[in-house]
């Protein structure tokens, strides 16, 4: 196979370098997933979801599947944001119909946490990245990722998903030192994890802060911006120069401070953020990603075409990567994704 082309020939990397393209590059969050029958076939052969993520051959295959079908401009590593708690000695499992489960973490528990051998525990993920760096088409960028510390911490404290992250929020106010220690441990483990991904071949890194919504400004600063900055600074100190996309979902006006102080290269925008507000208030040359409502993709038809047109028109002249405002849902017909790609590319 011929070597990958110079970095700036890949459209997503051009955008992340500040270039506005006439046709935005496109990829979709959760593009490797349950809406694809070939994904479901591979998944059925795994003992558990964690085993699935940590089996390089399977993770490589499902990462490649949407690239084969849709020729997206980037592939995103197939893994999960909740692998990091394993490096802190916490058990993680997934229950059918309920999602991720962990033993709830108390303030006292935090005092005893230590970072284990990240590179050994999550080494299979590094192998998946290395496999992909060879297997992907030359024009396709490879995105590595991790969960942001606040979001990972909420799952660890709550013992799983939570509508309002009540226990995590309360811990921030009641036990600030314990909470700060937890965020620092997660950030430092994440630095090592992302360094491993970058050295294995990831060209872009993304940080998912899925639970950034509804935080008052002091808490957003401490729980979202500060640990994100710690990760970005740690990557740069390790010699990793990959662009970093930050996604503080639901941050609203807090996006401004995140853009100014987190150190990320680009911002992923959720579909609930007012597009014109984003254009008026976020740095003019900062690359932006988004912002299609996943429900519009599920609906398809003329409504989908119209919303794609609106988003492309709104971001024209700005460095922009087309994506959803959250992950693709399992009930999306494959034909709707094909429609989206054709529409964006004018086919």
Residues with catalytic function: 30, 34, 43, 80, 155
Residue 328 contacts residue 28 (beta carbons within 8 Å): yes
Q: Which two tokens stand for residue 200?
A: 């294995």
DSSP state at residue 21 = P
Helices (H) and strands (E) in the chain, counts: 18, 9
SS (H, E, C) 114-129: CCCCHHHHCHHHHHHH
Report which secondary-structure segment, H or E, holds 6: none
Q: What phi and psi, each to the nearest 5 degrees, are found at residue 157?
A: -80, -40
DSSP-derived 3-state class of residue 199:
helix
Q: 247 in helix, strand or coil? A: strand
- Spatial distance between the Cα atoms of 58 and 45, rounded to a whole number of angstroms: 9
Q: What is the 3-state secondary structure (H, E, C) of 116-172?
A: CCHHHHCHHHHHHHHHHHHHCCCCCEEEEEEECHHHHHHHHHHCECCCCCHHHHHHH
Sequence-ordered alpha helix ranges (H) in 176-225: 176-200, 217-220
> Are residues 281 and 304 in contact, defined by beta-carbon separation less than 8 angstroms?
no
**DSSP summary character for residue 209:** E
């Amino acid at each position: 196979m011929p070597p990958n082309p110079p970095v700036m020939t890949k459209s997503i990397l051009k955008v992340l370098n500040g270039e506005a393209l006439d046709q935005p590059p496109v990829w979709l969050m959760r593009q490797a997933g349950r809406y694809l029958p070939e994904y479901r076939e591979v998944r059925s052969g795994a003992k558990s979801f964690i085993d699935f993520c940590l089996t390089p051959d399977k993770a490589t295959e499902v990462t490649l599947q949407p690239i084969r079908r849709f020729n997206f401009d980037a592939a995103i590593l197939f893994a999960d944001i909740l692998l990091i708690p394993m490096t802190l000695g916490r058990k993680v499992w997934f229950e059918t119909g309920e999602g991720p489960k962990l033993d709830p973490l108390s303030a006292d528990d935090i005092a005893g946490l230590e970072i284990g051998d990240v590179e050994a525990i999550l080494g299979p993920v590094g192998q998946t990245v290395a496999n992909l760096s060879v297997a992907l088409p030359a024009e396709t960028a490879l995105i590595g990722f991790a969960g942001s510390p606040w979001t990972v911490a909420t799952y660890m404290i709550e013992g799983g998903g939570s509508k309002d992250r009540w226990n995590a929020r309360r811990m921030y106010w009641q036990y600030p030192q314990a909470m700060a220690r937890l965020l620092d441990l997660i950030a430092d483990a994440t630095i090592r994890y992302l360094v491993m991904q970058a050295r294995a071949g990831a060209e872009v890194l993304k940080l998912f802060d899925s639970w950034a919504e509804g935080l008052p400004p002091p808490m957003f600063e401490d729980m979202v911006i500060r640990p994100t900055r710690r990760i970005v600074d740690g990557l740069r100190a390790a010699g990793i120069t990959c662009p970093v996309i930050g996604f503080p979902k639901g941050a609203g006006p807090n996006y401004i401070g995140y853009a100014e102080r987190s150190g990320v290269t680009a911002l992923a925008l959720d579909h609930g953020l007012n597009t014109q507000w984003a254009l008026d208030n976020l740095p003019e040359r900062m690359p932006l990603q988004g912002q299609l409502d996943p429900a519009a993709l599920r609906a398809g038809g003329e409504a989908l075409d119209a919303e794609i047109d609106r988003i492309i028109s709104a971001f024209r002249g700005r460095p922009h990567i087309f994506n959803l405002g959250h992950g693709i849902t399992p009930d999306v017909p494959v034909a709707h994704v094909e429609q989206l790609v054709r529409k964006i590319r004018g086919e």
